[in-house]
Chain A
């Protein structure tokens, strides 16, 4: 496969430099942009595999950049946020970002996120919409039958647990916010449903994860949401 092309959108030169050095050292191609205007232009002209987007840009809010890109493309976007508040990450995820990184982050973390996203890209390319069976390591979901299997044994899930699991599976690799999940599962997103979500997620994990302390299928992102990760390969 070709070397993946990454678009780095970051206004701070040392950080841009750091990321590009790390990418070059790990066999990625990259282009960079220092502001939102350039970012959108580069995204349209080069159609990169992944966008690394800093949320604090001088000319336009990062969330608006996501909306602009999402209006014509589904290219994966990983946001980089320096703000300590979770709000902007949630806004970015709800606007269509796939993942986030918080400054300060280590190069290891950055590379891990890129790998996860690339794997998702590769896996979901063949007719992703028509996929009737989802497999992720020992987990298999038969959407048509409405059943989930772990090591070929059927999991006895309540309707809500199944809904949660299939929602996460369909968006495997993407961080889904609490708000998004409760909207999808209950149709509303009141506070009460977020509490219910945690209960169902805990019971789902008990059935799903061999060791609930170090979950391998579903990650918790405290204050933000949940994500299913690929465990195969």
Chain B
């Protein structure tokens, strides 16, 4: 921690101010050189002012190319929103621990009611502690000198309507006042009020100015003597006109600025809330898929543009997911976009439309990455209307948040996997140990018996020989059952994903187990009771058959031939239950908690050393766990034991 702090303190952080000026490139180059000389980090800052929205396309294009240049020279590009450019720069410098600012000299923001003090002077006044490098440039045009006239005409009709309505209303009220004999001052007030209304509710300043002129003329025409001429007898009237005109001008300027500020701060607030919302949702999302859908949802809400997201498996990009907006009819041309996507993925940088890498594409691509690891690429539809600077910056921060979330998800998964791996490894080692130890007994018996038959088969009497054959057969059968369990256990160890889950009829599974035991059950009184209804479960058929086999096998092993064995099925609380009962000696209470433990075998009174490895029930339990089921044991009244397991019931909809 302390070392981290030291580096940030010793490292110089250099800020360069971006603008749409042509000379800005020179400033950026100079800043990059300075940064290299200091071995510092470069941050390029653009202050988005209300006026920026009205700047010409050429200006926007130049700004973008300047941003690209800064990025290419290794700068981190950031955007802040505000009206007072020097104040924003100073604040940013203070918060981001900037030690040095590089700025072009003629970078001033035009404004009629502001002192013609240069940007640099005011910046120095705000932040006197910083070092400044001022790069002079000559003859280039001032920041937003050229305002565009290509505003959309959508609101014009509405504006005219408001204008005319207000004018009519004011004139009517004026006429009313005049008839009632009120003084002219009141009528002027009414027109000023109308002016306020017009500047608030129309979107262009021209309306306010036209209002000023029209209202003065109307006033002159209708209310000054002689009426209905543009002559005025009173000597004070010219002054009234001038004052009214000036008032109109100031009010309209203020109103427009007010509106711009309001819309800017609304935009900023909305973006901030999107970023916060993203954080909140990412906290809930765990899997990469969820994170990608949060990303898509947030970005479409924020940008209202079509999106494409390519997840990555670490090595290469997978198939993309599309999130088109409702009104986007342009098809996604994957083959044309391919190179830009790959570039963003390989180079870990932005690519595509409005950047220098593959600008001919329709989309702008960002890579989702943490250091060298890329988790995917997200593309935003540009379709000829570039993202503005603040959109880009908020896009970058949402993308950054998602990358971090993906990194965290990956780390969590890796940790989980390593724990699981260790657990599996332990299980495997135990299993191997138990197997190699306990399989020796039947193998010894088979080998010995076979050896006897080879060497002295002829000398044995038929009864003994028959016994030897049976022993070999029974031992082999025991081994077969053991191997089935071990195979199931090894499949369980490979994880839940390896299960082959299908919808199964419980009766089919029991039938299979019973069929498998075949003649062995004949030594017992076996009864299978089942309800009329069909009971379905979602399960790996082999594994559940194995569970039933193990339970029946245990019932046969731990009771005397001739005992009763029952198997019952039923439905309870949305679960399918299967119960295997016997009327044997039962299980003492002190052993019950342990019987599902791996390698637990009960001390058996018969002295038969080969009843099991203590794998069977442990395996049953892990199989049921993997199926979201459970298994438990109870006493059977009056005697015997009841093993019961439950699996979630599956509803089956029948397709005719």
Residues 175-192 (chain A) with a chain B CB within 8 angstroms: 178, 186, 191-192
**A interface footprint on B493-518 (CB within 8 Å = 1, 0 otherwise):** 00000001011110111011000000
Which of A87, A196, A213, A222 touches B655 (beta carbons < 8 Å)? Answer: A196
Provide the residues of chain B in CB contact with A200, threshold 8 Å: 654
A86-B542, A213-B511 in contact; A192/B504 too (CB < 8 A)? no
Chain A contact residues, CB within 8 Å of chain B: 84, 86-87, 104, 158-160, 178, 186, 191-196, 198-200, 202, 213, 220, 222-223
Q: Which residue of A lies closest to B503 (CB)?
A: A195
What is the minimal beta-carbon distance from B223 to any residue of chain A, in angstroms? Answer: 84
B 575-614 to A, binary, CB cutoff 8 A, 1 in contact else 0: 0000000000000000000000000000000000000000
Instruction: Verify if B652 is at the interface (C-beta below 8 Å from A).
Output: yes
In the docked arrangement, what's the CA distance between A213 and B503, Å? 20
Question: In the complex, what's the smallest C-beta–C-beta distance from A29 to chain B, in angstroms?
Answer: 27
- With a CB–CB cut-off of 8 A, which chain B residues contact A223? 500, 502, 541-542
Q: Most chain-B CB neighbours within 10 Å: which of A186, A191, A194, A223? A: A223
How many Å lie between the Cα of A125 and that of B507 in the bound state?
A: 36
**Extra inter-chain contacts (5) besides given A158-B656, A198-B508, CB under 8 Å:** A194-B502, A196-B653, A198-B505, A213-B528, A222-B512
Asked whether A195 lies within 8 Å of B652 as measured between CB atoms, the reply is yes
5 tightest Cβ-Cβ pairs between the two chains A and B: A195-B503, A222-B512, A223-B541, A84-B487, A196-B655
Judged by a CB distance under 8 angstroms, whether B534 is at the interface is yes
Does B471 make an interface contact (CB < 8 A)? no
Give the CA-CA distance A24 to B476 in the complex, in Å: 24
Given contacts A86-B542, A198-B505, A222-B545, contact A186 B476 (CB under 8 A): no
The distance from the CB of A226 to the nearest CB of chain B, in whole angstroms, is 10
The interface of chain B, by Cβ under 8 A from chain A, is 476, 480, 484, 487-488, 491, 500, 502-505, 507-509, 511-512, 528, 534, 536, 541-542, 545, 650, 652-656
Residue contact B476 to A160, C-beta cutoff 8 Å: no
Task: Give A195 to B650 CA distance when docked, in angstroms.
Answer: 10
Q: How far is the CA of A178 from the CA of B500 in the complex (A)?
A: 14
A193: chain B residues at CB < 8 Å are 655
Q: Is the CB of A199 within 8 A of B652?
A: yes
A190: nearest chain-B partner, CB-CB: B655
Q: Once bound together, how far apart are the Cα atoms of A32 and B502, in whole Å? A: 38
* 10 A-B pairs (CB sep. < 8 Å): A86-B542, A104-B480, A193-B655, A195-B650, A196-B654, A198-B536, A202-B507, A220-B508, A222-B504, A222-B508
Give the CA-CA distance A198 to B534 in the complex, in Å. 9
Q: How far is the CA of A186 from the CA of B656 in the complex (A)?
A: 8
B542–chain A nearest beta-carbon distance, Å: 6
How distant is the Cα of A16 from the Cα of B507 in the complex, in angstroms? 36
Once the chains bind, are B652 and A222 in contact (CB under 8 Å)? no
A220/B534 in contact, CB under 8 A: no
Chain B residues within an 8 Å CB radius of A194: 502-503
- Give Cα distance in the complex from A220 to B506, angstroms: 12
Nearest residue (CB) in A for B516 is A222
| Distance A158 CA – B655 CA, assembled complex (angstroms) | 12
Residues of B within 8 A of A86 (CB): 500, 542
Contact A196 B652 (CB under 8 A): yes
Which residue of chain A lies nearest to B505 when distances are taken between CB atoms in the complex? A198
Contact A202/B505 with A84-B487, A213-B528, A223-B541 known, Cβ cut-off 8 Å: yes
The answer for the CA separation of A1 and B511 in the assembled complex, in Å, is 37
Contact A222 B542 (CB under 8 A): yes
Question: With A84-B487, A191-B503 in contact, is A198–B511 under 8 Å at CB?
Answer: no
CB–CB B534/A202 < 8 A? yes
Instruction: Quote the shortest CB–CB distance from A78 to chain B (angstroms).
Output: 19
- Kindly list chain B residues whose C-beta atoms are within 8 Å of the C-beta of A87: 500
Residue of B nearest to A192 (CB): B655
Chain A residues positioned under 8 Å from B480 (CB to CB): 104
Chain B residues, CB < 8 A from A192: 653, 655
Please measure, in the bound complex, the distance between the C-alpha atom of A178 and the C-alpha atom of B542, giving whole angstroms. 15
Q: Are B500 and A191 in contact (CB under 8 A)?
A: no
- Taking a contact as CB atoms under 8 Å apart, the answer to whether B511 and A220 are in contact is yes
Complex-state Cα separation, A195 to B500, whole angstroms: 14
Contacts of A220 in B (CB 8 A): 508, 511-512
Quick check: B542 and A191 within 8 Å, CB to CB? no
CA distance A86 to B542 in the complex (A): 9
The complex places the Cα of A223 from the Cα of B541 at a distance, in Å, of 6
Q: How far is B38's CA from A20's CA once the two chains are assembled, in angstroms?
A: 87
B504 to chain A, nearest CB (A): 7
Q: Which of B480, B487, B503 has the most CB of A within 10 A?
A: B503
A198 and B476 in contact, given A213-B511, A213-B528, A220-B508 (Cβ under 8 angstroms): no
Q: Min CB distance, B520 to chain A, in Å?
A: 13
Tell me whether A222 and B534 are in contact (CB under 8 A). no
A191 CB contacts on chain B under 8 angstroms: 502-503
Q: Report how far A159 CA is from B655 CA in the complex, Å.
A: 12
- Note all chain B residues with C-beta closer than 8 A to A186: 655
Nearest A-chain residue to B528, judged by Cβ: A213
- In the bound assembly, the distance between CA atoms of A93 and B652 in angstroms comes to 27
**Min CB gap A165→B, angstroms:** 16
Task: Check if B476 sits within 8 Å of A104, measured CB to CB.
Answer: yes
Chain B residues whose C-beta falls within 8 Å of the C-beta of A159 in the assembled complex: 656
Cross-chain contact A195 with B536 (CB below 8 angstroms): yes
CB distance from B323 to the nearest CB of A (A): 27
A64 and B509 alpha carbons, distance in the complex (Å): 31
Contacts of B655 in A (CB 8 A): 186, 192-193, 196
Which residues does chain A contribute within 8 Å of B507, judged by CB atoms? 202
CA distance A193 to B480 in the complex (A): 34
Nearest residue in B to A104 (C-beta to C-beta)? B480
Q: Let me know if A199 and B508 touch, CB within 8 A.
A: no
A199 and B534 contacting across the interface, CB-CB below 8 Å? yes
> In the assembled complex, how far is the CB of residue B578 from the closest CB belonging to chain A, in whole angstroms?
15
What's the Cα separation between A186 and B654 when bound, in Å?
Answer: 12
